[in-house]
Structure 1
Amino acid sequence: MKSGPGFKEQLVAQALNEGFVSCRVCRPWDVPEVPERLEAFLQAGYHGQMGWMAERTHWRGDPAALWPEARSVIMLAESYTPEHDPIEVLGHRERGAISVYAQNKDYHDLVKKRLKRLARWLIAEGGGEVKVFVDTAPVPEKALGHAAGLGWQGKHTNLVSRDWGSWAFIGSVFTTLELPSDMAEVDHCGSCRECLDACPTDAFPAPYQLDARRCISYLTIEHKGPVDEDLRAKLGNRIYGCDDCLAACPWNKFAVAASDLRYAARDDLKAPALAELAALDDAAFRAKFSGSPIKRIGRDRFVRNVLYAIGNSGAQGLKPVAQGLAEDADPTVVDAACWAVKQLS
């Protein structure tokens, strides 16, 4: 089996050739701070309805326990930097704002295929065994990314890099190979609080802490049922996710262009008309968002979000659209429709 510095250089070159913007290595046990942080997060109830975060905490808190045979973790970043200003759509209240990462193909599929190609190369050239992960397993990817030197966890809790900013997906390859480790990155946030001040819902109780129950990404994607009324107005026209804290980060001046054109925004998802989205039935929703991460939340939750945006639009012309959904089969949609009508009355 190969595992020396020369082989690692080949690995990095192969990763960059696959389209990743960065490739670094750490040990599975290089994140001893994670269990305490995870416990504090869960004890505060910051995970909201994401009950899965409280499951398998022995794995989520300790990557070495996830696969005890692993000796190295290869951390990889893949850029999805937008070509347009993701905040501009917030000023067009009759249109919906969709998070940049969800404006085209599902990144889970794209990143995982790239990780698997790199893993096959690793086995062929270096031997050993591998497991690949991207966002769906109990892996503390951001902490591992910090430990490997991909970047540091900023005050908004997301990974930030001096080389590629904030617009990147993170994936990992666990391997039984003993590869040379990289130095952990240091925090370069300094006194900056642009990301914290940009949050519309004050979802950060303190720097480096996130209360998901107030985060618009959580509320529009993970939260089931009606959103608390005191938060609905703060959603604005954000109908799937939120990019405000990421977009505010000054380090994005070093953002690297996405290498995969399948991350480029679809024209119909850059600033879609709320009236058209509200009219989607289940079949039309599935057809429109086939291959998109948006499909995962289902038509009812998505239309709920659209109705909140309609209620926040101030556009009287959208009132009949909301009224038309006041007798929808889904009670949460009905609640959102009635709220929107009330806001526009």
Structure 2
Amino acid sequence: MAAADLKTLIVDKARSLGFDLARVAPAALADRYRLAFDQFLADGRQGDMDWLARTPERRTSPKGLWPEARSILMLAANYGPATDPMTRLGRRDRATISVYAQNRDYHDILKKRLKELGRYIAQTTGAELKVFVDTAPVMEKPLAQAAGLGWQGKHTNLVSRDYGSWLFLAEIFTTLDLEPDAAESDHCGQCRRCLDICPTAAFPAPYTLDARRCLSYLTIEHKGPIPAEFRAPMGNRIYGCDDCLSVCPWNKFAQSAVEPSFLPRAELTAPRLADLAALDDAAFREIFAGSPIKRIGRDRFVRNVLIAIGNSGNAGLATTAEQLLDDPSPLVRGMAVWALGRLTPMHLATLAPARAVELDEDVRAEWDTALG
């Protein structure tokens, strides 16, 4: 079979399996990506994400990851929201969850499709291949740009002329020698809406992210107490942040997702903070089974919820926070103190004498700060 016909066959099969875009990149990356990544690590901008610094030669070079790779099939699935995610930020007694996490874990959905597509390619061609959905050190956004799926915007995320900001990415490394598609050029122009909207100023420069200041990193990857300077800017965001994605002008071309697994579950579009704060470990696991939220665990999740409660301005939620002052997790106890200090500082002061001795240093520090 001619190489061009084979590529068309594979792309058509990918589309039939539910991928919205399927294009080919060469198994190589320009040196500028390696240099930018090295600088990112040198500046410590990865925060707690230590895995980013492991085997950088594999992350910055497709052939460093798999020397036999000759082509990379880059795939994308649209998860565009039907409404503007920013509208939920004003409902301070409710939680805002990132669009991508309001239903099933996309890793599971795309991995199943990838395996089926991989079997088809292997059976049709006999080629070797490897499939990835955030399961290996792959610089997928630069590869997606090289394949023409979109370009890395000033917020470092992929932007598509057809789908705006809302694409899940996956890739198949293969020994097939497929004709690469034309790379996409940058179409951000002078726009800086994504940079200016960031509530924590996480972009020290265009195309540069400091993860340590990013609310997606802080609410998902960061394991300890969230630094005090970032708590108020969190607002009611309890898992991720879509601000820089939502304001991109290219979203005028975005399309709402049609895949049922990417549509929001009704109970996760604007859940009540009081209900989420009341979850114990068993209830948390039950509600978020099959969700990407499950991986951060109940304690970090409730930590985030309590910060949102503290930002709510709703003194009626003080009782919810007070009930967590004796939580088994010091992470939760500390954020309960902070939330009460924001909502009812006078009441918190009356509770202090009975709680003068706190065994955990971080919790004691929260008390000392809250009480001045």
Q: TM-score, normalised by structure 1?
A: 0.98
**Residues 97-135 of structure 1, C-alpha deviation per residue, up to 9 Å, x if partnerless?**
000000000000001111111111111222211100011
Q: Does 1:20 align with 2:13?
A: no
Equivalent residue number for residue 250 of structure 1: 249
Give the 5 Å matches for 1:1-40. 2=1, 4-40=3-39
Task: State the shift of 1:337 in Å.
Answer: 0.4
> SS of the residue aligned with 2:31?
coil
**Residues 131-190 of structure 1, C-alpha deviation per residue, up to 9 Å, x if partnerless?**
000112100000100111111000000011111111010000000000001111100000
> SS of the residue aligned with 1:33?
helix
> SS of the residue aligned with 1:180?
coil
Equivalent residue number for residue 369 of structure 2: none
Residue identity opposite 2:173 in structure 1:
F
Task: State the shift of 1:3 in Å.
Answer: 6.0
Equivalent residue number for residue 81 of structure 1: 80
Task: State the shift of 1:45 in Å.
Answer: 0.8
Equivalent residue number for residue 136 of structure 1: 135
> SS of the residue aligned with 1:75?
strand
RMSD: 1.0
Q: Is the 8 A contact 1:3 1:180 kept in 2?
A: no
> SS of the residue aligned with 2:85?
coil
> SS of the residue aligned with 1:87?
helix
Give the 5 Å matches for 1:19-98. 19-98=18-97
Residue identity opposite 2:165 in structure 1:
S
Residue identity opposite 1:218 in structure 2:
Y
* Residue segments in structure 2 that go unaligned for 5+ positions in a row: 345-372
Residue identity opposite 2:125 in structure 1:
G
User: Runs (4+) of structure 1 moved beyond 4 Å?
Assistant: none
Relative to structure 1, is the Cα distance of residues 104 and 27 closer, same or farther in structure 2, using a 3 angstrom cutoff? same
> SS of the residue aligned with 1:68?
coil
Relative to structure 1, is the Cα distance of residues 24 and 120 closer, same or farther in structure 2, using a 3 angstrom cutoff? same
Give the 5 Å matches for 1:100-179. 100-179=99-178
**Residues 280-334 of structure 1, C-alpha deviation per residue, up to 9 Å, x if partnerless?**
0000000010000000000000000000000000001000100111111111111
Point out which structure has higher relative CO (alpha carbons under 8 A, 6+ apart): 1
Give the 5 Å matches for 1:177-256. 177-256=176-255
Task: State the shift of 1:86 in Å.
Answer: 1.2
Q: Is the 8 A contact 1:3 1:179 kept in 2?
A: no
What is the number of equivalent residue pairs in this alignment?
344
Q: Is the 8 A contact 2:29 2:61 kept in 1?
A: no
Equivalent residue number for residue 305 of structure 1: 304
- CA distance in structure 1 between the partners assigned to 2:34 and 2:2 by the alignment: 29
Residue identity opposite 1:301 in structure 2:
R
Equivalent residue number for residue 366 of structure 2: none
- CA distance in structure 2 between the partners assigned to 1:317 and 1:31 by the alignment: 55
Q: TM-score, normalised by structure 2?
A: 0.91
Q: Is the 8 A contact 2:29 2:60 kept in 1?
A: no
Q: Does 1:331 align with 2:338?
A: no
